[in-house]
């Protein structure tokens, strides 16, 4: 397994694989890898040579967010990736963002959902992903569906710029209790983690309510928010939207998605579930 930190080495390795006729997959991460990431990597491994990037991207954290405390475990990450037989761990040094003056800004979702609560976040995400895609030039790039808004934005960016990369979604991996796996779950003590599991349970109850025939978006949202507040979550948003996140709706339909962000015990959590 190659471990690379400089842009030229990453480009050269990618060219070498391509010259050998290999397809390349990229799995961008911010490290502190958990089973959710490893599941994404396993999916990527079915599609040729795999680059996993590890970079805690300062451009996607707001001034009051957890950039300095974001969980890190480089040695553990490298070990996990070695065991999976990944071809390259790319850990860009800071030249990747230093003196950056050009940003990718989306024009349809930046003021919605997480965009409302994390100004500049998606600009930072899209810009780093564009850089990683330009360096590695993968055929496939893999993203987890827990970050659904991020996935939609990256897919749209790849379409809008006619990029030769297929954006591959990977379903969310969950703890046994349903809590979506996330590096931020490491912030919880075990009692808090148990309570945080209610987040998924509540979203799932709403899905069941829809299944039983409740289709009013207002009622479904109202109930979700009430249940979340009852279980001590601070609610940022609950929205029901079509799967491309084009617009808000009054009547929920099969295939729509319920998305939410909450805070629990100081930790921000996001999750989503399809209505079916």
Provide the binding-site residues for ligand PAF, judged by CB under 6 A: 28-30, 57, 60, 125, 128-129, 147, 150
Complex with ligand PAF: residue 29 or 224, whichever CB lies closer: 29
Contact 109, 115 (CB under 8 A): yes
Active-site option among 34, 37, 47, 222: 37
The nearest distance, CB 147 to ligand PAF, in angstroms, is 5
Complex with ligand PAF: residue 118 or 221, whichever CB lies closer: 118
The nearest distance, CB 65 to ligand PAF, in angstroms, is 12
Complex with ligand PAF: residue 28 or 115, whichever CB lies closer: 28
The nearest distance, CB 28 to ligand PAF, in angstroms, is 4
> What is the C-alpha to C-alpha distance for residues 113 and 109, in angstroms, rounded to an integer?
8
The nearest distance, CB 9 to ligand PAF, in angstroms, is 20
The nearest distance, CB 1 to ligand PAF, in angstroms, is 19
Complex with ligand PAF: residue 121 or 221, whichever CB lies closer: 121
> What is the C-alpha to C-alpha distance for residues 271 and 256, in angstroms, rounded to an integer?
14
Would you call 121 a catalytic residue per the annotation? no
Indicate the residue whose CB is closest to ligand PAF: 28
> What is the C-alpha to C-alpha distance for residues 155 and 119, in angstroms, rounded to an integer?
20
Q: What count of residues does the chain have? A: 276
Complex with ligand PAF: residue 32 or 221, whichever CB lies closer: 32
The catalytic residues are: 37
């Amino acid at each position: 397994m190659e471990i690379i930190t400089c842009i030229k080495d990453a480009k050269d390795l990618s060219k070498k694989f391509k010259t050998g006729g290999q397809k390349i997959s990229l799995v961008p991460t911010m490290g502190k890898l958990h089973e959710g990431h490893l599941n994404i990597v396993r999916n990527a491994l079915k599609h040729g040579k795999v680059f996993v990037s590890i970079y805690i991207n300062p451009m996607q954290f707001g001034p009051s967010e957890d950039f300095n405390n974001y969980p890190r475990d480089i040695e553990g990450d490298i070990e996990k990736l070695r065991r999976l037989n990944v071809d390259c761990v790319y850990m860009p040094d800071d030249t990747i963002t230093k003196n950056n003056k050009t940003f990718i800004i989306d024009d349809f979702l930046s003021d919605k959902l997480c965009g409302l609560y994390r100004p500049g976040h998606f600009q930072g995400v899209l810009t780093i992903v564009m850089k990683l895609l330009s360096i590695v030039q993968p055929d496939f790039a893999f993203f987890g569906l827990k970050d659904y808004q991020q996935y939609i934005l990256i897919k749209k960016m790849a379409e809008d710029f006619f990029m030769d990369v297929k954006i591959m979604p990977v379903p969310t991996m969950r703890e046994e209790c349903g809590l979506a796996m996330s590096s931020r779950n490491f912030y919880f003590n075990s009692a808090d983690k148990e309570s945080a599991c209610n987040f998924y349970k509540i979203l799932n109850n709403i899905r069941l309510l829809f299944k039983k025939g409740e289709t009013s978006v207002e009622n479904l949202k109202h109930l979700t928010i009430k249940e979340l507040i009852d279980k001590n979550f601070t609610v940022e948003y609950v929205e029901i939207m079509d799967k491309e996140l084009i617009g808000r709706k009054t009547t929920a339909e099969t295939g729509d998605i319920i998305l939410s962000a909450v805070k629990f015990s100081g930790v921000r959590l996001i999750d989503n579930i399809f209505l079916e």
